[in-house]
Chains A and B, each alone.
Chain A
Amino acid sequence: MNTMKWLVKREFWEHKGGFYWAPIVVGAIMVFFLAATVFSGVVMGHSHGFNINGNNVTAMTHDMSADERSQFAHGLATGYMGLAFPLFLVLGVVVFFFCLSALFDDRKDRSVLFWKSLPISDTETVLSKVAIAMAGAPLITVVLAFVVSFVSLVIICIGSALLGINVVGPVLSDPNLYLSPFEVAGVLPVYVLWAAPTIGWLMMVSAWARTKPFLWAVGVPVFAGTLLTWFNAIFSFGWDIRWFWQHIVGRGLGGTIPGIWFAYHPVPATALETANGMNANSHTGDMGAILMQSWHVLAEPDMWIGIAAGAAMIYAAIRLRRWRDEG
């Protein structure tokens, strides 16, 4: 019996909308607007000009040295995966609401009694949902992000060629073109591990709440934070309230926002731009540098405290699931 495999399939049947269609629709809209911008820029290029990643392409066409051209190509090949960043924001939202409903919806519609009539343990059920949140959904997003980024890159290359800058050769021969998707995928482990306390908290509330899981999940930490802030102000306790908001409320609710760990462990902007020999003047994100800096976060104790808290709350969700049926 390959129960896990079927439980994971089950989640995809139920959440096709969030896992496939939401990123596909957003990706399609992004590609559409990029294409519209680029090609209208090409048509009206000489009078208006247009920007890609902060580079004014029209201005560059007038007088672009071979050096500048290769730098432009390198920027594209290195940073094109960054064009799909909105898809990762979608992922953050989808994972948030998936976790919140994961152990609640089937109790609400009472189909939990059907799932519980089959030989599936609560541990398997909960872990299959954790696997979706932490591996399945992010991997799908990375694949879609690659497709969207690549199509965007092609559109930009065509647009540039129409303006007289042919960068296809240098882009294709740039190793970063091929490395970037893997570098983005390489950030995923950091993303899901950093999100562990949020995923754990949402799953626990999802397993526990009898009604309105969103209100409980968001309300409890925000209310606690507000109360503490208020006490602190009235009685002048001198508590570090910022710490509570950042490390309890923030880690418990905001963990699925991609790249949020940089807000906790800031790195100098230059560290993100120069690692692959990029020119510091370029504003293009460098995936290799983001990957390296992200993995540094694994050396931070708050990362591991978060993982432990997330694991504990997922265990609590399994225990809660045991005796909660409908209502």
Chain B
Amino acid sequence: MSAVISARALTKRYGKQLAVDNVSFEIPAGRIIGLIGPNGSGKTTTLKAVLGLIPFEGDLKVLGLDPSTQRDELMNQVCFIADVAILPRWLRVRDAVDFVAGVHPKFDRAKAERYLAHTKLTPSMKVKQMSKGMVVQLHLALVMAIDAKLLVLDEPTLGLDIIFRKQFYQNLLEDYFDEEKTIIVTTHQVEEIEHILSDLMFISEGKIVLSATMDEVGERFTEVMVPADRVEAAKALKPIDERQVFGKSVMLFDGVPRTQLATLGETRNVGIADLFVATMKGTYA
């Protein structure tokens, strides 16, 4: 199976501003990729190029199709929640389900209705009567019932309470995802998706600063709790980040063997949030 997304020298300019700067990457099938970056880093622009929503420079293939010229064909296989989920105010729950069932060949109506049954939404409810979280619930119920090869979720859980967010990611993993599918997620609540990701991509100022599988991240990066008397020895190994917790130094190392680090103190896997912050410090320094 060839890559689901393959980008070579992908570039997007808004006037003189470079939003995506000569980026190349490949995403194989059957992965859940977390695309993480600060605001304005080019995440959404990259995703919009992948979804054929904006013109771009460079070479980009999604499921073997060019999103800028073959978008109509592509959209049978791809679904997305772009940016903040927004549904038109006049839309009723019932009509929304009918409409998607009517136009999408891969929509499973029973599945959507099953998801909706877990919410407080009623068929006659209009979007304008819903809370922000309810709108997201409706949108997610529709999108999760579409059997797409590529699903792009740009901040999908904004406005949802923690119980529904947990439930959503659980459903995404257990009910939706399989080895044929690929999911790309961006979110600021990184900790919540950590456990479902298979791959990680950090993006900053239009460039990909880290692209690795979660296994690779676990092998490459190690966090060590270093007691005060070992700090000098630890610093010699060039940690990429250092912070203080309860009077101890917590240091993050890139590519130093874990057996070697174990002599310095207690080691553990780094959280995505900490890794992200450390990586971003580097790029801004």
* Complex interface residues of chain B between 52 and 72 (CB less than 8 A to chain A): 53-55, 71-72
Count residues of B near A (Cβ-Cβ below 8 Å).
Answer: 33
Q: Which A-chain residue is minimally distant from B53 (CB atoms)?
A: A325
Whether B88 and A118, one on each chain, are in contact in the complex, defined by CB atoms closer than 8 angstroms, is no
Q: Is B89 an interface residue (CB 8 A)?
A: yes
Contact of B88 among A2, A114, A121, A323 (CB under 8 A): A114
In the bound complex, residues from chain A placing their C-beta under 8 Å from that of B75 are 116-120
A23 to chain B, nearest CB (A): 19
In the bound complex, residues from chain B placing their C-beta under 8 Å from that of A322 are 71
B55 to chain A, nearest CB (A): 6
In the bound complex, residues from chain B placing their C-beta under 8 Å from that of A7 are 103
Q: Is B91 an interface residue (CB 8 A)?
A: yes
Contact of B102 among A3, A13, A14, A117 (CB under 8 A): A3
Whether B95 and A13, one on each chain, are in contact in the complex, defined by CB atoms closer than 8 angstroms, is yes
Q: Is B270 an interface residue (CB 8 A)?
A: no
Whether A1 and B103, one on each chain, are in contact in the complex, defined by CB atoms closer than 8 angstroms, is yes
Contact A113 to B86, CB < 8 A, known contacts A13-B95, A119-B72, A323-B55: yes
Whether A1 and B102, one on each chain, are in contact in the complex, defined by CB atoms closer than 8 angstroms, is yes
Among the 9-residue stretches A103-111, A140-148, A296-304, the one with 4 or more Cβ atoms under 8 Å from chain B is: A103-111
In the bound complex, residues from chain A placing their C-beta under 8 Å from that of B48 are 325
Whether B105 and A2, one on each chain, are in contact in the complex, defined by CB atoms closer than 8 angstroms, is no
Whether B105 and A114, one on each chain, are in contact in the complex, defined by CB atoms closer than 8 angstroms, is no
Digitize B146-181: 1 where CB-to-A-CB distance is under 8 Å, 0 elsewhere: 000000000000000000000000000000000000
Q: Is B5 an interface residue (CB 8 A)?
A: no
Whether B90 and A119, one on each chain, are in contact in the complex, defined by CB atoms closer than 8 angstroms, is no
How many angstroms between the C-alpha atoms of A3 and B99 in the bound complex?
Answer: 9
Q: Which B-chain residue is minimally distant from A10 (CB atoms)?
A: B99
How many angstroms between the C-alpha atoms of A3 and B95 in the bound complex?
Answer: 14
How many angstroms between the C-alpha atoms of A29 and B8 in the bound complex?
Answer: 64
In the bound complex, residues from chain B placing their C-beta under 8 Å from that of A119 are 72, 75-76, 103-105
In the bound complex, residues from chain B placing their C-beta under 8 Å from that of A110 are 83-84, 86
* Complex interface residues of chain A between 91 and 146 (CB less than 8 A to chain B): 106, 109-111, 113-114, 116-121
In the bound complex, residues from chain A placing their C-beta under 8 Å from that of B139 are 114
Whether A111 and B88, one on each chain, are in contact in the complex, defined by CB atoms closer than 8 angstroms, is yes
Digitize B36-60: 1 where CB-to-A-CB distance is under 8 Å, 0 elsewhere: 0000000000001001011100000
In the bound complex, residues from chain B placing their C-beta under 8 Å from that of A10 are 95, 99
Given contacts A1-B102, A6-B99, A7-B103, 16 further A-B contacts (CB under 8 A): A9-B98, A9-B102, A13-B92, A109-B89, A111-B87, A111-B88, A113-B53, A116-B51, A117-B75, A117-B79, A118-B75, A119-B105, A120-B75, A120-B103, A121-B72, A323-B54
